[in-house]
A and B are shown apart, each in its own frame.
Chain A
Amino acid sequence: GENVEQHPSTLSVQEGDSAVIKCTYSDSASNYFPWYKQELGKGPQLIIDIRSNVGEKKDQRIAVTLNKTAKHFSLHITETQPEDSAVYFCAASIPRASGGSYIPTFGRGTSLIVHP
């Protein structure tokens, strides 16, 4: 099955700095890569996703890049703010042969701390 590695486990930055979280996946058949933000005591919330036919996607201060050859993808947050503090999870999904149902495999998460 798919295996997703995520680094770093903890990331501490000053407000206004950029933050980068990196993930690698093992199965080259994976073609959908969502990122989730989980605040304390809440469920994960999708913040951005990318499909394998795209190398980069941007949404305001967040961007995701994908390198299919190297099987790694990254989340970039610019101009970080204290409210960006949360745990971020990457995931990779392999399309199923029947029904096309995607079951994402998650990384272990990165705790991002943004200091005011």
Chain B
Amino acid sequence: DAGVTQSPTHLIKTRGQQVTLRCSPKSGHDTVSWYQQALGQGPQFIFQYYEEEERQRGNFPDRFSGHQFPNYSSELNVNALLLGDSALYLCASRETGGAGNTIYFGEGSWLTVV
């Protein structure tokens, strides 16, 4: 049973560029959330997708956008990259309507903006 998978694992971008990160949820899960984790901090909620729509959003600017596909996989897009966007980006999935509230994280994508 594959867990949450993310790609790429590491990438380096230049200020002002755009980046796309990808996530495949755990088998049987239909809800995907994205988190940003800066060094030495806990994960910060960016947004959540369910049924291909953004359902909830954290305190992140519109430069952060996403998409969910019919197979439940998801993308996170960040435009006009800033140095402060350097962080570990985590994807998490859960089964909506399941008995528990547990979310499962992927290994993350390390983004460095130079």
Q: Measuring CB to CB, which residues of chain A are less than 8 angstroms from any residue of chain B?
A: 4, 6, 32, 34, 36, 41-46, 49, 89, 91, 93, 96, 99, 101-109
Contacts and interface: CB of A to CB of B under 8 A. Distances in A.
A45 B31 CA distance: 18
Given A93-B101, A109-B41, 5 more contacts: A43-B4, A101-B50, A103-B33, A106-B43, A108-B42
Using C-beta atoms within 8 Å of the partner chain, give the interface range for chain B. 20 to 34
Given A34-B102, A43-B105, A44-B105, A103 B56 contact: yes
A46 B40 contact: no
B56 A96 contact: yes
A42 B43 CA distance: 13
Nearest to B45: A103
3 A-B pairs closest in CB distance = A106-B42, A43-B105, A102-B101
A32 B108 contact: no
Chain B binding surface, main DSSP class: loop
B63 interface: no
22 contacts: A4-B42, A32-B101, A34-B103, A41-B107, A43-B90, A43-B105, A46-B103, A46-B104, A89-B42, A93-B101, A96-B56, A99-B50, A102-B101, A102-B103, A103-B48, A103-B58, A104-B103, A105-B45, A106-B42, A108-B40, A108-B42, A109-B41
A103 B56 CA distance: 9
Nearest to B102: A46
A99 B104 contact: no
Given A96-B56, A103-B45, A106-B43, A43 B50 contact: no
B107 to A, nearest CB: 5
B90 A101 contact: no
A43 B108 contact: yes
A45 B50 contact: no
A8 to B, nearest CB: 14
Nearest to A91: B42
Interface in B18-45: 31, 33, 40-45
B79 interface: no
